[in-house]
Structure 1
Amino acid sequence: MDKKVTVIGSGNVGATAAQRLAEKELCDVVLIDIVEGMPQGKALDLTEAAPIEKHDAHVTGANGYEASKDSDIIIITAGIPRKPGMSRDDLISTNKGIMKSVVTEVAKYSPNAVLIIVSNPLDAMCHVAFEASGFPKNRVLGMAGVLDSARFRAFISMELNVSVENTHAFVLGGHGDTMVPLPRYSTVAGIPITELMPKERIDALVERTANGGAEIVSLLKTGSAFYAPASAAVEMAESILKDKKKILPCAAYLEGEYGINNLFIGVPVKLGTNGIEDIIQIKLTDDEKAALSKSADAVQELVEILKKSD
């Protein structure tokens, strides 16, 4: 393969992302994790599946960052989940340390890579990666909107009993309960969902989307979502690797767009070889602007907590 993607963190999200990348034959994949044997074992398992899945992508595992050298994309899933009794401030502080150390290393070995951040709290971790890498803003982005939009699309498909391929949805804002799904821009075969279902059903789907991650956590009880988050990160990577220039909602660093400054917020962007090639500004109603502003305020709170932990 002439492209290379390194996935940092070989837990459920990271390992599934590696599997999707390899099976789509998008690139060679390097899995990196601090746990000895884990990335090597998962990489070998994926390699042994290759003859059956019929792909020739090379998958390797490593505990050191040297293996990531000259990657086109780095997908970062490393970090700890929030544990019982742990405050949000503690979680941010711990994951900040992990993100800073990871990004400093990968930036050294792959100075021209695009960083796709998956670790939580996502919007805050994008800020850490941006500062630690010293990369331009177009090469640091967060995976959130693609996942949230996919959840919204799945719920629309279930509600209307139509193919998911016919559904399109947009979700803006931070990754969490302040996200802003936009029903006006969400369609089935080009028809706005506002024409296809009553407001109360749309509102219910919007609420379910905002709580999508929590719903899965409550069902699994001992973990969180990983299939859909991995797929979302890989869709972003594919658009960059193939220079597809897909318009996808991603956490991007805004400098005045949507009236927001110096914050990573989920907005529609064009993804190509250089990462974010354009930020698409769509017209919002007053209510949507207010909801996006509220979401930005929530992200700003996290950034303030980051600053305090310096």
Structure 2
Amino acid sequence: MLVCRSKGLLQRLLSAGPGSTTSSRDYKVAVVGASGAIGQPLSLLLKQNSLVSQLSIHDMRNIKGVEADLSHICTSVQTNAYEDQQLEDCLAGADVVVVPAGLPRKPGMTRDQLFEANAGVALRVACSVSESCPGALLAFVTNPINSIVPIAAELLKAKNSYDPRRLFGITTLDVVRARTFVGDFLNVNPAKVNLPVIGGHAGKTILPIFSQCCPSFQCQLEDIRRLTHRIQEAGTEVVNAKDGAGSATLSMAYAAARFVNSLLRGLSGEPDVMECAYVGYKSPCLPFFATPLMLSAKGIEQNLGLPHLDDFERQSLEQMLPELEQSIQKGIVYAKEKMEKEECQKECQK
């Protein structure tokens, strides 16, 4: 259990940025959905990561132009592009697969609409990973994360390729936002702020743990309620600010690049690499849940479980569990129905 005495550890372990590394080992990273509004800046950041030797990028269209653009950047990372039916070629031999593919959130879009638009992405990518790189670390950006990760898990189980230590839903953006908003509130450098964010990756399922914040967050409960709500609804804040022209793309790309960098650091054998993520490995409360994780060459070395919670946080946890459980079950039911109808095979063949 992560308790108050671990605050200093959190501050030290969670401080590395998206390109920070102390190792020089080289890895192949594949980005699925690389020509999109998240995929392009994410690929740009990964092109600068010294742990990456090969960057394989895939999308349904316009990917050759992205490859040409990236190829002009003066780093040693080799970039290769793959279109449409070449997904398995793109993934072959990958150490890490990160997936920003799918329809972005739009103003007024319900979670059900987003689910219907993107659920097939999880099936297709998970199927291709099981065929081309079953040992890779697979990390989804695609929303709704709360359902997408369970869909991928069910498909991987059916393919005898499921290792819960190696499947992730990237919730790092919630942590990045929490650090930023708390830093602004306390008038301190956000890079010096650390606090775990647990639960899921939508609305009230996002639960920042202010009682474990470093530096200590000694403020009124009303301030905590207001900041919690802002962190939970930050995605809507960006969607509304862009007035229909997009969702959170740059901040999401930064967060995803940070998370991938942490995965690579863990693969390299660097000790004490910690990130929060939505996983199904020894998860508390529900089959899938975001908690602080210790990363290693195995993927997840240890799930650190629930941090110590104060009364407000325990109440918030109890209130969000039914919604998160419903999202998980929705993903599981969807995947099983598709597999029963053999529709997942169609996704694999796309």
Same fold per TM (> 0.5)? yes
Match of 2:229 in 1: 207
Question: Counterparts of 1:1-310 in structure 2 under 5 Å?
Answer: 2-10=26-34, 11-27=36-52, 28-35=54-61, 38-48=62-72, 50-51=73-74, 55-63=75-83, 64-65=86-87, 66-82=89-105, 87-133=110-156, 134-144=161-171, 146-178=172-204, 179-188=206-215, 192-194=216-218, 197-221=219-243, 222-243=245-266, 244=270, 245-253=272-280, 255=282, 257-258=283-284, 260-262=285-287, 264-281=288-305, 282-309=307-334, 310=337
Contact in 2 for aligned 1:78/1:99 (Cα 8 Å): no
Secondary structure at 1:12's aligned position in 2? coil
Aligned-pair CA distance for 1:106: 2.5
Q: Sequence identity, in percent?
A: 26
Aligned-pair CA distance for 1:295: 2.6
Looking at structure 2, the residues matched to 164 and 78 of structure 1 have their Cα atoms a distance apart, in angstroms, of: 29
Looking at structure 1, the residues matched to 154 and 333 of structure 2 have their Cα atoms a distance apart, in angstroms, of: 15
- What is the count of residue pairs matched by the alignment? 295
Partner amino acid, structure 2, of 1:202: I
Secondary structure at 2:65's aligned position in 1? helix
> Does the C-alpha gap of structure 1 residues 43 and 25 become closer, same or farther in structure 2, counting only changes over 3 Å?
farther
Contact in 1 for aligned 2:183/2:193 (Cα 8 Å): yes
Contact in 2 for aligned 1:236/1:271 (Cα 8 Å): no
TM-score (norm 2): 0.79
Looking at structure 1, the residues matched to 226 and 109 of structure 2 have their Cα atoms a distance apart, in angstroms, of: 30
Partner amino acid, structure 2, of 1:59: T
TM-score (norm 1): 0.88
Secondary structure at 1:81's aligned position in 2? coil
Secondary structure at 1:60's aligned position in 2? strand
Contact in 1 for aligned 2:31/2:99 (Cα 8 Å): yes
Looking at structure 1, the residues matched to 107 and 249 of structure 2 have their Cα atoms a distance apart, in angstroms, of: 20
Partner amino acid, structure 2, of 1:119: T
Aligned-pair CA distance for 1:116: 0.5
Aligned-pair CA distance for 1:284: 2.4
In structure 2, stretches of 5+ residues that fail to align are 1-24, 338-350
Contact in 1 for aligned 2:148/2:331 (Cα 8 Å): no
Partner amino acid, structure 2, of 1:280: L
In structure 1, stretches of 5+ residues that fail to align are none
